[in-house]
Amino acid sequence: MQTLAVMVTTPPHSNLTTTAIDYIECAIQKGIKVIGVFFYQDGVLNASSYLSLPNDEYQSIKQWQRLNKEYDLPLHICVTAGEKRGLTDEIDDQTGKKTQTNINDAFILSGLGELVELSSKADRVVQL
């Protein structure tokens, strides 16, 4: 099975992100194993749980959630890029566990090492 990793650098309100979502879904439907999406630069903004896109506009966040759920697609956001843009996790004082306060549950906070791992496993890496 052919494998693919995608790096997304565009924000949720950009039509370029719509292109990335279309591309990824077409790949999955074509039988390509998409091993992960890595969100870098402004791409991390796709993971904000505070996103509120007008109802009559393209709901990129719903599409990412759907891809994650329907196809078990791992969505990694770069922690450094996230923190620069106000996205972070917190350690709960009571339980000592990490909670993703303003990051949508469909996304995982990851380091750049995750991108190296995806790159080493995928047959192709596409930046969108």
Partner 1 sequence: MINKKQSIAILNSTAPFASTNGKDALDLALIFGSYEQNTSLFFQGDGVYQLVKKQSPDKISTKDYLKTFAAFEFYDIKHIYVCAASLDQRALSDDFHIDNVTVLTTSEFSKELHARKIILRF
Partner 2 sequence: MTILHLIRSSAFSSNDLKQCISNIEHYDNVVLLDDGCYNINHPLMKQLQDKSSMINLYIVKDHAQARAVNFDDISKEVLNSITMTELVALTFSNDSVVTWQ
Which residues bind to partner 1, rule: CB under 8 A? Answer: 7, 40-41, 80-81, 111-113, 115-117, 119-121, 125, 127
Query: What is the distance of C-alpha 82 from the center of its chain?
Result: 11
Rg of the chain over Cα atoms, rounded to whole angstroms, equals 14
Residues 11, 14, 18, CA angle at the centre, nearest 5°? 100
Q: How far is the CB of 28 from partner 1 (least distance, A)?
A: 21
Verify whether residue 26 is a known catalytic residue: no
- Give Cα 54 distance to the centre of its chain: 21
8, 78, 79, 115: the catalytic one is 78
Q: What's the first-to-final CA gap in the chain, in angstroms? A: 22
Q: Does 26 bind partner 2 (CB under 8 A)?
A: yes
CB 87 to partner 1: min, Å = 15
Indicate which residues carry an active-site annotation: 78
Report the interface residues with partner 2, using CB under 8 A. 2, 4, 15-16, 19, 22-23, 26-27, 29-30, 32, 123-128
